[in-house]
Structure 1
Amino acid sequence: MRASDFDILIVPNLGGAAEGDWPSRWRAKLSTARFVHPPDPADRRREAWTEAVARAALEAQRPALFIGHGLGAVAIADASAALDGADVRGAFLVAPPDAQGLERLTSSDWTPARAPLPWPSVVVTSGNDPQGAYDAVAALAADWGAELIDAGEAGALDAASGHGPWPEGLIRLAAFIKGIGEGRR
């Protein structure tokens, strides 16, 4: 499969994707990609994010492929239980916050889902992400049944940490899409 075979649903971090961040760059580069977030991307409520994710997946015209960054990655995992009937083929999840990071971001008791995801998934994390301790995010990836990719000391994998264009991430995404096409989990 190719990227153009999917409705690519990019769920950015809280506040939406900054213009120089890789989600914005990928959205511009991938012809079938669009952003998915609540009407107010600064909304900190779990329900607002998971409803936006579920609605987008159920309305997709092609098989859906999720790309999540930060809070968006957790929103995808949280929404997965509500996606019966949606043709979701996978999730590429980058820098999800751990429980403490999610609490700092949302000022609420929103904790990440721990159930296995029903589709192939990858979690890319950093050894020094201020919102997600490596071991805690590795445990999330294991609970989700996701492949864990160690990005090294890469901060929050955003433009502020030097990952504006993030070509390495795009290469990882291409390999993930190829694996989905070959039926690998």
Structure 2
Amino acid sequence: MHFLTVPGLASSGPQHWQTIWEKQYPDRFSRVQQQNWDWPIKEDWVNQLQTQINNLTGPTVLIGHSLGCITIAHWAHQFASEYIKGALLVAPADAEMSKRLNFVVGFTPIPIKPFDFKSVVVASTNDMYATIGRSKGFAANWGSDFINVGRKGHINAVSGLEDWEEGKEILESLSGVKLAE
């Protein structure tokens, strides 16, 4: 099983759990690379995700964070791949409620079509970029399981999660793969 991380705005820095996991398991993890991490345009981000998915050669789980989750939702609305077996969607950013709409060109409206693969939305009760209710609504719309992890902010490097063992357990449950093996 391969894992493809899909970071959000500004990508995921060295202290972010996505980056830590990529470094721990370089043979299993790769990252979607965007042309411009600081000025996301939906068509560009979705097309770059599709380009990398087109290059897959085996079963893959997508691991989105923040605007990366919304990128995955737009991708799933437009495309499909036999290789995508699931998606872990952590702290989806509510682009529709963003005060920085000019930073999220084209990401609204957020698709409400159920995904063609298993997925889990993981959200925090004190995320500044989406209320817990909106995150639960995204999960319902996308046909995803929903996990409330309590007060963990935006579930990013600022949250101090480092290796984020709880997230690994959720990913292992979703994928059916033990990362340490």
Q: TM-score, normalized by length of structure 1?
A: 0.87
Deviation of 1:110 after TM superposition, in Å, equals 2.2
Partner of 1:120: 118
Aligned to 1:13: 8
Partner Cα separation in structure 1 for residue 102 and residue 6 of structure 2: 15
Long gaps (5+) in structure 1 = 1-5, 180-185
Partner SS for 2:121:
strand
Does residue 1:154 correspond to 2:149, yes or no? no
Distance, in Å, in 1 between the alignment partners of 2:169 and 2:91 is: 17
Q: Give the direction of change, closer, same or farther, for the CA distance of 1:128–1:54 in structure 2 (3 Å limit).
A: same
Alpha-carbon separation, structure 2, partners of 1:132 and 1:105: 17
In the TM superposition, residue 63 of structure 1 has moved relative to its aligned partner by 1.4
Q: CA deviation at 1:32?
A: 1.8
Q: Structure 1 residue 80: deviation in Å? A: 0.9
Cα distance in 1 between the residues matched to 2:136 and 2:102: 19
Matches of residues 122-141 of structure 1 in structure 2 within 5 Å?
Answer: 122-141=120-139
Instruction: Name 2:80's counterpart in structure 1.
Output: 84
| Conserved 8 A contact 1:11-1:36 | yes
- Secondary structure of the residue that 1:148 maps to in structure 2? strand
- Runs of 4 or more, structure 1, over 6 Å off, are none
3-state SS in 1 of match to 2:176: helix
List aligned pairs for 1:1-185, cutoff 5 A: 6-30=1-25, 31-98=27-94, 99-101=96-98, 103-104=100-101, 106-108=103-105, 110-111=107-108, 112-178=110-176
Distance 1:90 1:102 in 2: 30
Distance 1:86 1:105, change over 3 A: farther
Q: Deviations over 1:79-116 (max 9, x none)?
A: 01333344210000000012213855825452221110
Distance 1:92 1:102, change over 3 A: farther
Worse overlay, 103-112 or 160-169 = 103-112
Separation of aligned partners in 1, 2:102 and 2:8: 10
Paired residues, number: 174
| Percent of residue pairs identical | 27
SS of the equivalent of 1:76 reads helix
- Counterpart AA for 1:101: S
Per-residue CA deviation, residues 6-34 of structure 1 (Å, 9 max, x unaligned), is 23110011111100110000111222211
Structure number with higher helix proportion: 1
CA distance in 1, matches of 2:99, 2:86: 23
- Where 1:129 maps in the other structure, the secondary structure is coil
CA separation of 1:105 and 1:22: change in aligned 2, threshold 3 A: farther
Distance 1:161 1:62 in 2: 33
Q: Deviations over 1:157-177 (max 9, x none)?
A: 011112222111111111111
Stretches of structure 2 that go unaligned for 5 or more consecutive residues are: none
